[in-house]
Amino acid sequence: MTTDTGPDIPEAQVPGSNELHRRLLADMIRIRVFEERCAELYGESKIRGFLHLYIGEEAVAAGVISCLLPLDGVLATYREHGHALLRGVSAEAIMSEMFGKATGCSGGRGGSMHLFDGATRFFGGNAIVGGHLPLAVGLGLADRMLGRDGAVTVCFFGEGAMAEGEFHEAMNLAALWNVPVLFCCENNRYAMGTSLKSSESQVDLALKAASYALPAWTVDGMDVMEVHRATTKALASLRAGGGPMFIEFQTYRFRAHSMFDPDLYRDPDEVERWKQRDPITTFAERLAADGTIDAGDIDAMWTAARKETEAAVAAADAAPIESVETLLDHVTRPVDPLPDALGPGADDVDDIDEVWP
């Protein structure tokens, strides 16, 4: 491991209020409840396609996204229900998307792997591993060129993406162009069923990233406060005009890769050991022990999350589907008509339906 504390950045003020602790715990619980319900709904065939659950990794999304401002951009992978939810996409819009409904956050075109939301600058939901990293560089470049001071782009990806060429191209471009992008590697140790050791010649991921001459370090991704603290520190630098950074969050998914995965490649003892470090129960226990919250508070969080999820399920169930007549919408966006000169040949073309029988 490269370092536990990150590079030499002035320690930003890390809020340690009860309010923040409560929010982080409640956020993780919201993801957990939502996704456990998703697994049931998959069994009921309400949700189809691929479904990748984030259960076990909630501390990363909660810790990072709690540091973001509305002007920031977020890009995530196909394991992104939790990121979308915490970024502010409603549970109803996410659930409706997974139900394939018109009211889904992608109008039923995306499904579980492609959640998008313009209002919260949530740029997906990207299912080509590594493919969205160059987009993050471009968003950061646009922020710089348009003078959107203080804006940052946060890009989540798994450790599997680090074997892709696009990871290396994106890191190099980001560092060369000094763009305000935080690369958040969610190292859950398995790219589908392939372990880190069998896919990377160098398993110290921060060391790999650091070779692109940017600050890179490793953080315990099972501890939401560690995640929050590291992100706060990184974003303070980025917002002040600093260049890109890389954080490896060491985490673990408790469920299989997807609903199709029989999970034959992991030692059950290993899974059990990581479950002992469940980011929700460990954090709740810590907060209870220091008197920040009591059992009643925790119960109330679970109850509120269940209520939110059940309302989303009911709404998704009742929502209309897109009319097939709209199938070809959004392939290309209509172009505003050209002012005057259309160039040679433009006048002698009729409407397509008039020419083709």
Partner 1 sequence: MSEQTTMTYREAMREALREALATDERVFIMGEDVADYGGTYAVTKGLYEEFGRDRVRNTPLSESGFVGAGIGAALGGMRPIVEIMTVNFSLLALDQLVNTAATLLHMSGGQFNVPLVVRTTTGAGRQLAAQHSHSLEGWFAHVPGLKVVAPATPADARWMLPTALADPNPVIIFEHSGLYNDRGPVDPDSGPVDIERAVVRRPGDGLTIVAWAGMVSKALDAADELAAAGVSAEVIDLRSLRPLDLPTIAESVQRTHRALVVDEGWRTGGLNAELAASITERCFWTLDAPVSRVAGLEVPIPYAKHLETAAIPQVADITAAALALTGVGP
Is residue 92 a contact point for partner 1 (CB under 8 A)?
no
How far apart (Å, rounded) are the C-alpha atoms in residues 225 and 299?
21
CA angle 270, 274, 277 (to 5 degrees): 155
Residue with tokens 């990806």: 157
Q: Which helix (H) or strand (E) holds 95?
A: helix 91-98
Is residue 87 a contact point for partner 1 (CB under 8 A)?
no
The pairing of beta strand 190-191 with beta strand 194-195: antiparallel
Reference 283, options 222, 239, 326, 240; nearest CA is 222
Reference 284, options 35, 12, 24; nearest CA is 24
Is residue 267 a contact point for partner 1 (CB under 8 A)?
no
Is residue 244 a contact point for partner 1 (CB under 8 A)?
no
How far apart (Å, rounded) are the C-alpha atoms in residues 158 and 191?
8
State which of residues 2, 172, 194, 292 lies at the interface with partner 1 (CB under 8 A): 172
Please report the DSSP string for 296-323 in residue order.
HHHHHHHHHHHHHHHHHHHHHHHSPPPP
How far apart (Å, rounded) are the C-alpha atoms in residues 106 and 250?
30
State which of residues 128, 240, 318, 321 lies at the interface with partner 1 (CB under 8 A): 128
Is residue 94 a contact point for partner 1 (CB under 8 A)?
no
Is residue 71 a contact point for partner 1 (CB under 8 A)?
no
Is residue 145 a contact point for partner 1 (CB under 8 A)?
yes
Is residue 191 a contact point for partner 1 (CB under 8 A)?
no
If the CB atoms of residues 16 and 70 are measured against partner 1, the closer one turns out to be 70
Is residue 176 a contact point for partner 1 (CB under 8 A)?
yes
If the CB atoms of residues 296 and 357 are measured against partner 1, the closer one turns out to be 357
Helices 279-289 and 18-43, packing angle to 10 deg:
150
Is residue 88 a contact point for partner 1 (CB under 8 A)?
no
Between 300 and 339, how does the x/- string for binding to partner 1 read (CB under 8 A)?
A: -----------------------------xxxxx-xx-xx
State which of residues 88, 107, 150, 242 lies at the interface with partner 1 (CB under 8 A): 107
DSSP 160: G
**Residues in binding contact with partner 1, number by CB under 8 A:** 64
The pairing of beta strand 181-187 with beta strand 190-191: unpaired
Token pair in block for residue 122: 């949530």
State which of residues 166, 200, 204, 220 lies at the interface with partner 1 (CB under 8 A): 166
If the CB atoms of residues 9 and 129 are measured against partner 1, the closer one turns out to be 129
Reference 249, options 80, 78, 62; nearest CA is 62
Q: How far is the CB of 139 from partner 1 (least distance, A)?
A: 4
Is residue 345 a contact point for partner 1 (CB under 8 A)?
yes
Is residue 341 a contact point for partner 1 (CB under 8 A)?
yes
Token pair in block for residue 275: 């479950």
If the CB atoms of residues 314 and 342 are measured against partner 1, the closer one turns out to be 342
Longest C-alpha distance within the chain, in Å? 80
State which of residues 20, 39, 142, 196 lies at the interface with partner 1 (CB under 8 A): 142
- Interface positions with partner 1 (CB under 8 A): 73, 104-110, 114, 116-118, 123-126, 128, 131-143, 145-146, 165-166, 169-170, 172-173, 176, 329-333, 335-336, 338-346, 348-352, 354-357
